[in-house]
Chain A
Amino acid sequence: MASKRKNMILLSEMVKTDFKLRYQGSVLGYLWAVLRPLLMFAILYVVFAKILRFGGDVPHYPVYLLVGTVLWNFFTECTGMGIHAIEGRGDLIRKLSFPKYIVVVSATSTAVINMLINMVVVTVFALINGVTPSLTWLLVIPLLIELYLLALGISLLLGAIDVKFRDIGSIWEVLMQAMFYAVPIIYPISMVLETSALAAKILLLNPIAQVIQDVRYCLITTETTTSWELLGVKLGLVPIILCVILFILAVWYFRRKAPYFAEEV
């Protein structure tokens, strides 16, 4: 199909341009893709592992913390770019006829590239920290795909709403600030478990928490609590089902609204 080929050309060129523009004019350039999460990690590490001593008995706590920050950063960056994608590319949408999801996918792709680079850094850190490589590392791939589907679903849904109601971006930012503390990134979930098993269960129903805990389990140490362990097999499926339902709903809504983006944006 000729139009399919055109769409692929458009998508790949937009991905390239977005990535190129991202770090243009900065001295360290692409290095920032790696530096940003590392610096954020350094801050969290000093505050939570050294001063507040959250790490406790978690093995490889620094890597454990780094994985959490990298995945969380990916999620916020991805949704942050994705939600504003349609609005930000209004110039194209008003003048070209093409499938609008391309804009959202290209906007989120920079975050995906950054995350993949960061996961390589994480792996190097893990090896330095004495984590033994194992086959379970491969399970990280489907987990990352799940997280991207969640971020993409939210981007499509909120991005389509953002065309009419620009408040969505600000609301989402605040929500993410709150969510940061609801996801076991800086604190181990065992800390919550000690006070309330119910609270820990509710926190682990969140797909972001589920992915982060599962990645830690597969990559770093089995001495961590995952959604499966705490909720059982049936309830453990809830976060994944949430992701799928949200994604389907988002695609349905986006497709319904997309024909009118050109006149509304």
Chain B
Amino acid sequence: MAFNAKKYLEKLRSEALAEAERDGVAIRVSNLTKSFKLPTERAWGLKQAIFNRLRGIKGYKKQVVLSGIDFEVKKGEFLGIVGRNGSGKSTLLKLLAEIYVPDSGKVTVNGSLVPFIELGVGFNPELTGRENIYLNGAMLGFSNREVDKMYNEIVKFAELEDFMDQKLKNYSSGMQVRLAFSIAIRAKGDILVLDEVLAVGDAAFQEKCNNYFASLHGNQTVILVTHDMGNVERFCDRAILIEKGKIVKDGEPKAVADAYRKLWD
């Protein structure tokens, strides 16, 4: 029985993928719902947990973060996701990246997806810049040999040629982000998912980053989460506005940006 259920799920998955491929869709999200259990009384230890159980306290309350989310991203599309703090954007991103599992609903990802929930994942302050490039590269799925090949380019783009043998803890925060960003843009995937990573470094470096994003436009499926409406209008083909866990607007970047600004009126 268990074996059949597994087979059935596999079959459903491959059917969904085939359908997405036929429609030229990179990501299809249907009726997605996610909630978290928020601890009401801190049950951070065994003692509390047992006490709460004895007193009939559940110890958490359920908070719905996203409900009934439906959208598609076409291949090659540059989609912006905007919304206020706590609206559920980052949760949505983590669901797309398969970091969280949904309560119900489905996410179909057609192709390989590279998520940047944060820059420099796994960076270790006790290691040198050089060692961190290899470490962070591994997080993105690059073997040592593959990193060898792009090492010089990464260092050059980050403008950190003289600092590679220093420990990361001696870098300024700007330098760290530059290094992380330079590694991140080497990642190759069918779909890139970026969470507010645009605003890094000084003005000159920003210019470089913006050029990179402009170069992605039209060649790559990108999902970008941001607060910067300027970037939404500049880079995106389409945008989605999320408010209190629901999609309230889906359409032209300009119209969505206007709706976002209206949230404060």
Contacts and interface: CB of A to CB of B under 8 A. Distances in A.
A54 B98 CA distance: 57
A94 interface: yes
Interface string A78-114: 0000000000000111111100000000000000000
A6 B141 contact: yes
Interface stretch (B18-26, B69-77, B110-118, B242-250): B110-118
Contacts of B43: 164
Interface string B21-49: 00000000000000010000001111101
Interface stretch (B132-140, B155-163, B225-233): B132-140
A25 B167 CA distance: 12
Nearest to A98: B139
A30 interface: no
Contacts of B143: 5, 9
B127 A260 contact: no
A92 B115 CA distance: 12
B97 A97 contact: yes
Contact of B121 (A21, A91, A259): A91
A165 B101 contact: no
A13 B127 contact: no
B70 to A, nearest CB: 22
B127 A17 contact: yes
Interface string B98-138: 11110000000000100101100110101100010011001
Contacts of A5: 141, 143
B118 A97 contact: no
A17 B144 CA distance: 13
Interface in A92-143: 92-97
Contacts of B112: 2
Given A21-B124, A21-B126, A96-B121, A9 B142 contact: yes
A9 B118 contact: no
A166 B45 contact: yes
Contacts of A259: 101
A167 B46 contact: yes
A94 B99 contact: yes
B115 A10 contact: no
Interface residues of A, number: 30
A15 to B, nearest CB: 11
A208 to B, nearest CB: 25
B121 A17 contact: no
A260 to B, nearest CB: 7
A171 B101 CA distance: 31
A17 B138 CA distance: 11
A17 B123 CA distance: 11
A263 interface: yes
B217 interface: no
B59 to A, nearest CB: 10
B94 interface: yes
Nearest to A259: B101
Contacts of B135: 13, 17
A9 B138 contact: yes
Contact of A167 (B45, B98, B115): B45
7 contacts: A21-B126, A93-B99, A95-B121, A97-B98, A167-B45, A168-B46, A259-B101
Given A93-B99, A96-B121, 9 more contacts: A2-B141, A20-B131, A94-B117, A97-B99, A165-B45, A165-B49, A167-B45, A167-B46, A168-B46
Interface of A: 2, 5-6, 9-10, 12-14, 17, 20-21, 24-25, 91-97, 164-168, 171, 259-260, 262-263
